[in-house]
Structure 1
Amino acid sequence: MTEPQDKAPESLPAVLTEAQAARVRKALAPYVAARTARESAKMLGFARQYVRAVLHGEIHCTLLFASRVARVLRVDLDALIRGDGT
């Protein structure tokens, strides 16, 4: 018999869904707007072109990118992706 606590936790895919990516972009946009592209990219650890492409929805948002956004914004990754209070 399997107890509720014995179930595996929900996992997140390496590439986020469009809804999850939209939440990441929405949270990141004010941060990027308040800084130069170079500063934002450096803090996130990604190339400027990559950050711009994610913000414009030109490429998929990955879990790694979202985790860097959460770290820079000092928010919980799960809350950021799932939209809990962001």
Structure 2
Amino acid sequence: MGHLSSGIVVTCRHKRSQLRNKQIALRELRDRLEALNRPTRRRISTAVPGRVRAMTSKQRKRRSVKKQRNTILRKKPKPRE
């Protein structure tokens, strides 16, 4: 069973009865056409709250200081000649 203008084709072989299979296929075709005609919802973009941005900025600064401190401690002193 198919819909000419949209090109959707549906078949059904679940039951032994031809009539029952046609009814199921027709229902499936209706569902697909409704889904095709239903408008898609647009995503509402949300901004990151100011508190969260401040907290991540603070964490980055802490991590940066920590890494700088570790690299200073790990540096080997140059041998004196």
Structure with max Cα Rg: 2
Normalised to the residue count of structure 2, the TM-score between the two structures is: 0.25
**Bigger RCO (CA 8 Å, 6+ sep):** 1
Normalised to the residue count of structure 1, the TM-score between the two structures is: 0.24
